[in-house]
Structure 1
Amino acid sequence: MSLAYAYPKSRFEPAVLVDLNSKAERERLSKSALKGFFRLAAAWQLRDDDARELLGGLSSSSFYEWKKNPDRVLEVDRITRISYLLGIYKALHILYGDKLADEWVHLPNTNPIFNGRKPLAFMLGGGLLAMQTVRKLLDARRGGL
């Protein structure tokens, strides 16, 4: 008799993980990721300096070139950053009305994670890990946890 726990069958198919180390996958995703990022930056009314920092410290010349022509292959780090930010954007729009969702990153927040700071300042100061933290926080709120 086996004492191993058997998980019940799920009615959901497991998510297919995207291999961002694959150049072909990054080629497939990069252009739409950048277009989404620039739409998010406009919706959030980000200063260009802040948008560049969220992308991982991109130079001004590269930033404006990418904005003009998003047809390029991004590195894993940049696609991951954009993925977190788009997930944050989506979660905010599920949780709040459009106006508050787009203002949320600029509002001081009393959640202990932010310690009274604005979520944008938290993400700018903490980089990729801070974006991941904000995404997890919002996903948990969205899921009712």
Structure 2
Amino acid sequence: MELDVLKLLERCEQVAYYQEQPAMIPYTFEGRSRRYFPDLLIVTTDGRGLLLEVKPSDRMALSINQAKSAAGLAWANSQGLGWLVVSDRHTFKDIEEHVIPAVGWQVLDNALKLRGALTWRDLISLRSDNGLTGFDVTAYVVQSGATLDSGYRLTARTV
């Protein structure tokens, strides 16, 4: 996916230059200090700059990637840069704005309340039984504030 983005940038007349992994951004996740290196800095011919992270849509919802994204956004803003997280089809903003069918939202909410956590297998079953798409589930995770670990185990947001 990153290679595809680089190929597009090479052909884009509005891009003056780009740099891979241009900065180290500190962030905290699960109580530990960590470091994050965004994929690209893009500078346009009119002098504007944009930090870009390339992730598959479903991986954007992982809690660790959301923490990295929040840190990236804050850092980019402090530097006067834009911030964008993209996949091959979607942006993080698309996920935030996606309208999940009300029935689907309720199904996921109820399953989480009943079970406490949902495994990847549970999610696949809920999707097929209720006509939900993978994008619906990804959007639910982001919009509800639920947590999704790297094993795709979904847990309700803890307040």
Higher share of residues assigned strand: 2
| TM-score calculated relative to the size of structure 1 | 0.26
Higher relative contact order (CA 8 A, sep 6+): 1
Higher share of residues assigned helix: 1
| TM-score calculated relative to the size of structure 2 | 0.25
